[in-house]
Structure 1
């Protein structure tokens, strides 16, 4: 008998997609990684840390139960996928799925499931007919998953924003998927080796994720000696507005030099936070703005060619 929960296999982060013939590419959706166990008695959805999702996203469970007769001869089934609230065929809404994930009261969960319904976007099949197949090749698992979902009536050639169940297909054309990601502002791309096995709980180099990052200059505001984060902001309504923190991407030499500059030019201090007047600009990469804060900011370079007054909220909004 298969277990309800396995620790997910995770892709490794890279700046470049592998381009060899034995690699294929999938859209990366911005949602909750979710393993889905399905048998005659239950639909159990679990997060990557084993927390239950099926009580928070009942619309997916209810939909699958209407499809049970089509696939019950293949139970028990274990799927791997992303639980999303889709904006379009290639993009999910991070803010809405985060809001829904925090709900606990049944009446609010029920209301949200109608107002902002989620979709389970399956990309892998780990068990079928009660047998694990996660050690089969990715290509074999993907073909079996496609056949399974076609039995439920899912259109496996495209993602539907109105469906509670979707199939994430792959392409062998990296240029084509890059174009889709740029146009629809997707989270990124996951490259997968066709021969790859699914190994629970590891971060593998046979799956590679490349994020669809944005780049923008920001004003350096200060440095927190307690947690090691630099603070950045932009000009909004004629004043400086804080928009995020960064610590990754900067070399030890660059970091030390920047700390010394900040300490020599302190304008004020708030506990462990050393603040300076606007003067230095840095280029950061980031995924998106969430609640007016940068998601996953990372240092790219100093921007000595940029005047701090050019780092505005308006230009940041245009960068969406």
Structure 2
């Protein structure tokens, strides 16, 4: 008998997608990594850390249960995927899935499930008919997964935000998926080796993820001597507003030079934070704005050519 949960295999982060005929590409969704186990008695959904999700997102098992007769000859099933709240066919809402994940009371969960229903976005099949198939090639697993979704009356050619289960397709067309991800503001792309075998609990270079990062110029606001983070902001309604902090991406030499500039030009302190008058502009990459703050900001370069007064909230929103 198969287990209801395997620790997920994880992709390796890269700045560029691999090329070659042995690579296929999938849209990466921003949600909760989820293993879906289905047998004659239950439908269990488990997060990458082993926490049960089916009680928090009951609309998925409630949707699947009436379809049980279509696939019960394949039980037990174990499917790998991402539990999402889809804004469009190629982008999931990080904010809404986070809100849903924090709910505890059944009444609030039921209400949220109607307002912001989740979708299990299936991208891999790990077990069928009670047998693990994770050692089959990725292409063979993908084909078997497609057959399962067909039995559930899902059109595998369309991703429907309103559907509680979706099949995530793969493509050989790198240029086309890059265009799709950019246009729909997806989280990124995962490249997968067609021959790869699924190994639980490892980070593999057979799966490569590239994030769909945005780039913008920000005003340096200060440096925190306690945690080593630089604070950045933009100009909004003639006032400086904080939008995030960063420490990644900057070299030790650049960091030390920037610290000295902040100390030499400090305008005051707020606890461990050394403040500086607006003058220095920094170019950062980031994933998106979440609650008016940057997600995953990373230093790219100094922008000595930029005017800090042009680093505005309006330009940031247009960029997001």
TM-score greater than 0.5 by the shorter chain: yes
For this pair of structures, how many residues does the alignment match? 320
Q: Give the corresponding residue for 1:58.
A: 58
- Listed one character per residue, the Cα deviations across residues 16-37 of structure 1 (whole Å, up to 9, x for unaligned) are 1111110000001111111111
How far 1:158 moved relative to its partner?
Answer: 1.5
- What secondary structure does 1:67 align onto? helix
In 2, the alpha carbon distance for the partners of 1:129 and 1:4 equals 13
Q: Give the corresponding residue for 1:313.
A: 313
How far 1:256 moved relative to its partner?
Answer: 0.8
| Unaligned ranges ≥5, structure 2 | none
Q: Give the corresponding residue for 1:144.
A: 144
In 2, the alpha carbon distance for the partners of 1:288 and 1:139 equals 32
Q: Give the corresponding residue for 1:175.
A: 175
- Listed one character per residue, the Cα deviations across residues 147-182 of structure 1 (whole Å, up to 9, x for unaligned) are 111111111112111211100000000001011111
- What secondary structure does 1:205 align onto? strand
- Listed one character per residue, the Cα deviations across residues 41-96 of structure 1 (whole Å, up to 9, x for unaligned) are 11111111011110000000101111110000110110100111111111111111
In 1, the alpha carbon distance for the partners of 2:206 and 2:157 equals 24
2:104 is the counterpart of 1:113: no
Q: Give the corresponding residue for 2:93.
A: 93
2:239 is the counterpart of 1:235: no
Q: Give the corresponding residue for 2:272.
A: 272
How far 1:6 moved relative to its partner?
Answer: 1.1
Q: Give the corresponding residue for 1:24.
A: 24
How far 1:123 moved relative to its partner?
Answer: 0.1
2:302 is the counterpart of 1:296: no
- What secondary structure does 2:60 align onto? helix
1:180-259 mapped onto 2 (5 Å cutoff):
180-259=180-259
In 1, the alpha carbon distance for the partners of 2:51 and 2:220 equals 38
- Listed one character per residue, the Cα deviations across residues 198-254 of structure 1 (whole Å, up to 9, x for unaligned) are 111111111011111100000011111111111000001111000001111111110
In 1, the alpha carbon distance for the partners of 2:156 and 2:276 equals 54
- What secondary structure does 2:216 align onto? strand
Q: Give the corresponding residue for 2:262.
A: 262
Q: TM-score, normalised by structure 1?
A: 0.99
- What secondary structure does 1:36 align onto? strand
Q: Give the corresponding residue for 1:73.
A: 73
In 1, the alpha carbon distance for the partners of 2:308 and 2:157 equals 47
Q: Give the corresponding residue for 2:36.
A: 36
- What secondary structure does 1:65 align onto? helix
How far 1:279 moved relative to its partner?
Answer: 0.8
Name segments (4+ residues, structure 1) moved above 3 Å: none
In 1, the alpha carbon distance for the partners of 2:22 and 2:55 equals 39
Q: Give the corresponding residue for 2:4.
A: 4
Give me the CA root mean square deviation: 0.7
Q: TM-score, normalised by structure 2?
A: 0.99
How far 1:292 moved relative to its partner?
Answer: 0.2
| Unaligned ranges ≥5, structure 1 | none
In 2, the alpha carbon distance for the partners of 1:302 and 1:265 equals 17
In 2, the alpha carbon distance for the partners of 1:87 and 1:271 equals 40
- Listed one character per residue, the Cα deviations across residues 122-154 of structure 1 (whole Å, up to 9, x for unaligned) are 000011111111111111110110011111111
In 2, the alpha carbon distance for the partners of 1:35 and 1:188 equals 21
